[in-house]
Structure formats: structure tokens, C-alpha cells
Chains A and B, each alone.
Chain A
Amino acid sequence: MPTWIDDPLFVRPLLAGLALALLGAPLGCLVVWRRIAFFGETLAHAALPGIALALLSGLPPVAGAALAALVTATLLVLLAHDGETGHDTVLATLAHIGLSAGLIVIAVNGSIRLDPMALLFGDILALGDADVIVTLIACLAGGLLLARFWRPLVFLTLHRDLARVAGLPARFYDIAFLAGLAAYVVLAMKLVGVLLVTSLLVIPAAAAQPFARTPEGAAARAGAVAGIAVLGGLGLSFVHDWPSGPAIVAVGGTIFLGARLAAAFRR
């Protein structure tokens, strides 16, 4: 047995990564079904100025990212329902505003010490014990909440009007879902980085879709894909010194391509 298996530098990100993978799977299914894959991207990009400003004012970066995500999610809820501008247009615009603002803040403040590569692509070595514990607890809480909200969220995704007539408060679930998604993005950012955080949501869900017959089946299959991606990606990262985020995405992406090609040929 290779020695790195029980190396804390490997075990810590593995535990956090598996927890994030298992929570990201059902969350990612909802993202894919609602066609808001770009939303996580937008949140992550928008977190950049939040992180920079937090570092400037001596706050923990996570607080800055969370605040930026909250502002972005609120803007999205307000802007996307005016019916004039498409959802994707609002998302793309907010993402680019966020990315630009972040880069400007970093550029004009030479005093901020940021490793851009770690921020953009994740840094497994930066995960401390406290990070892992916070991630595990947050994922457990998020999972319990999601299990409770699962059926209404699926109903609202399938047909918003029918769900509303059945008495579901659509706005409440919208905001809860987007807030949960924002929290997830902030949590997962350390592992896979700002640029790749959406892949943890979208790739496993997309790989699992063609083979599922129920919403829960899709979530379970996505969970399996995400778990394999995290395990394989972190292994590759640790053994071959690949950046952790891209390594996880490479494994997940390979499974996605294989599954989709298999589904295409089966048809």
C-alpha cells in the first residue's frame, strides 16, 4: 500500500472533496434541470472581488466570497424576473462584471498577497483541519436541508405554475436554492478553484442523466461519478503533482464523455 494513502495532506482534501461531491451531485442535477449551469460560474467569478476586498480589510476571504455571492444571487433574483433580459444574459453580464472588478481590485492594490493560480484552480495543500471540519459539517447540514426541499424543488423545476397552484411558495424556494448554491460554491472554491467550481456540479449530473429513470436515481448516479472524480483527481494530483481542480475535472470529464458517447451509440 503506498504511503500517501494515509498522509493527512491527502486524506484532508479527500474527505472534504467527497463530502462536496456527494452534496454537489443532487444540487448539480437541479442546476442542470433548471438550465442554470452558468449560475455557479457567475457566483464564483463574482466572489473574486469579494475575496480581494476581504483581504484588503483584514476579513477572512470566505466572508468576502460569501458576501459577494449573496449580492450576486440577490441581483440575479431581481434582474432575471423582469422578463425583459434573458437569464443567460444576466448571468454572463454579472460574471464578467465580477471577474473584471476582482482583477481591478487586485491590480490597483499591490499590497494584496494572492496566489492567482491557487485562487483560480484550487489548492489542496491550503486545506487545514479546520477547513475540513467546517466543510464536512456544512455539507451534512446542506444535505439534510436539500433532502427536505427536494420534492418541492423538483416540482418547481418541472412546472413552476403547477407547483405554485399546489401551494408552494416559489420565491422562497428560489431564494433558498440560490443561497444554498452560493454557499456550495464558496465551500468548494478552495478545492477546485474559482474557475472550475461549476464543474463539480455540472459534470457529474450531466454524465448521469442518460441512465436515470427517477430524479433520485439521477442524483445517486451523479454522486457516484463525482466521488470517483474526486478520488481519482486527488490521487493524480498527489502522485503526479497535477493541480487538484483540473485533475478532478479531467477524471469527471472523461467519465462524462464516455457515458454520453455510450448513450449516443446505444440509441
Chain B
Amino acid sequence: MSRSRHGAPLVCLRGVGVVRGDLTILENVALSVHPGEIVTVVGPNGAGKSTLARVAAGLIEPDSGRIERRKGLKLGYVPQDFPSQPSLPISVRRFLDLPCRLSDADATRVLEGVAALHLADRPLAKLSGGERQRVLIAMALAAKPELLILDEPAKGLDPISENDLYARLPHLRDEMGFGVLMISHDLHVVMASTDKVVCLNRHICCQGSPKDIDALAAFPHFSDPDSANLALYHHRPHMHIHDDPEADDADLDR
């Protein structure tokens, strides 16, 4: 964890709130991702995880609070859904060219990286959900991002591919040096590849190292595995782990 504290954060959310009508989607969320750090946000359905990812990606302006991005930050974003456009004919290879033209060597490299080289000439509209997910990850990596935002990146992947993706992520991080903000609904799958876990249920319930969060989940009254994940998201002030957002900020300002 010490290595991830070097340098200014790539992105820093301070007291971010998002409101839609009379519905509060996010409330006073403080979060930062540093270079080389993998931060995973977990939470139940409707917790505002995707909204948080979209705020961090600059797709939504927060209604309150601030978001600071490092100047000229190169961003890779893997969205949760990809509305299929069956009428727009385009191959996977050409799709990768849309953000900026890739050399064939680069395209081959990023597709190989997600085990999707065989999909290069296939029409994008004909891919399965899992295949499309790989292509989206390839596109995000092709941008050589400094910050990678993954919104449920394993959606549609089979369990083997899912494990493979999470196992590969820290290596990619070491290789390319990016920071990662990842959304997941399942803490246990991502534990091994995460530096910091943030439990979100509209506000941040707790955050800490995967070990700390897992310890919380292992409290005697959380021993039922089904309730363990959910119980974390209820607001329990006494459970806050050391990573107080204000302290975090003070840490950064130095």
C-alpha cells in the first residue's frame, strides 16, 4: 500500500453528491485513486456505484462537492452496458480505431491481452456479452490510460474468464502503471487484486484494505455468508476504518 501513496492522486472526489429529482443517489462521497493503486467499490444494487464511476469519469457533473482530476489525465473507461446497435455495421478492429487510429501491432497486442484476437474481424453487433466486454477492456487499455475506470468489468464473463481478468489486473497495473477504480458487486472475487475497498450505499459506509473489510465481514453476527456482504453497507459509525476521508486529504496535501 505504501507505494500507492506516492504522488498526487489521479482523481479525487470531495464531498460529492448526486441528486435526481427528490432521490439522493450519492451523498458526501470522498474518494481518491493514486497512481498504481487499485480501489474497488462494492455495494448492493441501487447503491450508486455506477453513478460514482460516471462521476469519476467526468460523464456526470456532481450536484454538490468537487472532483479534481490530474491535469491532462488519460482515462480508460469500461461501461457496464453496451447498447447493441445491430444496424451499424462495424468490425471489432475498426471499432478500436474510433478513439484514435491504432497500428495493427498495437491492436493485436491489446486484443491478445484480453484473449480476444480471434474476434478482430467479427462484426461488433454479433458479439456475445462477454466477448463485447473483452473488446471494451481492450479499447480502454489501448488508450494507455493513467486511470482505468471499470464498471462491473466481469459482467457477462464466465467464471474462468472472470478470475483470469481479476488475476491479470494487478500485473497490467504493474506493467502500465495506471490507477484503477473498479466497481464490483462481489467483494470476495476482487479481494486478492485490490489495494483498497470502499463500501458504498449512497454514502461511503466504510473503507479500508481488503483484509480489514473482510475482518468486518467475519464478525460473529456476520458469519452467515449471504448477509455478510450486505451487512457491510448499513451505516454503522463505529465500524469506520482508519481511512477517514479528511485524514486522507491531509495526507495528499503534503
For B59, list chain A residues within 8 Å (CB). Answer: 161, 164-165
Contact of B98 among A33, A155, A213 (CB under 8 A): A155
Kindly list chain B residues whose C-beta atoms are within 8 Å of the C-beta of A96.
none
Q: A157-B85, A158-B98, A159-B79 are in contact. Are A165 and B90 (CB under 8 A)?
A: no
B54-100 residues at the A interface, CB under 8 angstroms:
54, 57-59, 75-77, 79, 82-83, 85, 87-91, 94-95, 98-100
Q: Of the listed stretches A39-47, A58-66, A214-222, name the one at the interface; the rest are far from the partner chain.
A: A214-222
Q: State the Cβ distance, A208 to closest chain B Cβ, in Å.
A: 10
Interface residues contributed by chain B, number (CB under 8 Å): 26
Are B89 and A217 in contact, with the CB atoms below 8 A?
A: yes
Looking at chain A's contact residues, the main secondary structure is helix
Q: State whether the Cβ of A127 lies closer than 8 Å to any Cβ in chain B.
A: no
Check B79–A161 contact: CB distance below 8 A.
Answer: yes
**B interface residues, Cβ below 8 angstroms from A:** 54, 57-59, 75-77, 79, 82-83, 85, 87-91, 94-95, 98-100, 123-124, 136, 139, 143
* A217 shortest CB reach to chain B, Å: 7
A214-B90 Cα distance, complex, nearest whole Å:
5
**How far, in angstroms, from A158 to B98 measured CA to CA in the complex?**
10
List B contacts of A212 (CB < 8 A).
89
Chain A residues with CB under 8 Å of chain B are 32-33, 151, 154-155, 157-159, 161-166, 209, 212-215, 217-218
User: Smallest CB-CB separation from A84: which chain B residue?
Assistant: B21
Q: Chain B contact residues: over half helix, strand or loop, or mixed?
A: loop
Determine the chain B residues whose CB is within 8 A of the CB of A161 once the complex forms.
Answer: 54, 57, 59, 77, 79
Given A159-B79, A161-B77: A166 and B88 within 8 A (CB)? no
Partner of A163, one of B85, B90, B98: B98
Kindly identify which residue among B79, B85, B88, B100 contacts A162, using a CB–CB cutoff of 8 Å: B79
- If A165-B75, A166-B99 touch, does A157 touch B143 (CB 8 Å cutoff)? no
In the bound complex, do residue B88 and residue A155 qualify as a contact, i.e. CB atoms below 8 Å apart? no
Establish whether residues B79 and A33, one from each chain, have CB atoms under 8 Å apart when the complex forms. Answer: no
**Which of the listed residues A155, A165, A212, A217 has the most CB atoms from chain B within 10 Å of its own CB?**
A165
Query: Would you list 11 pairs from A and B whose C-beta atoms are within 8 A, ordered by A residue?
Result: A32-B87, A33-B88, A155-B99, A159-B82, A162-B139, A163-B98, A164-B58, A165-B77, A209-B89, A213-B89, A218-B89
Which residues does chain A contribute within 8 Å of B85, judged by CB atoms? Answer: 33, 157-158
Give A217 to B90 CA distance when docked, in angstroms.
Answer: 10
Contact check, B88 vs A157: say whether CB atoms are below 8 A apart: yes
In the complex the two chains form, is B87's CB within 8 Å of A33's CB?
Answer: yes
Please indicate the chain A residues that have their CB under 8 angstroms from the CB of B58 in the complex: 164-165
Q: Which of A154, A155, A166 has the most CB of B within 10 A?
A: A166
Q: Smallest CB–CB gap between B52 and chain A, Å?
A: 14
How long is the Cα–Cα vector from A164 to B58 in the complex, in angstroms?
A: 9
Q: Is B91's CB under 8 angstroms from A214's CB?
A: yes
Do A158 and B89 have beta carbons less than 8 Å apart? no
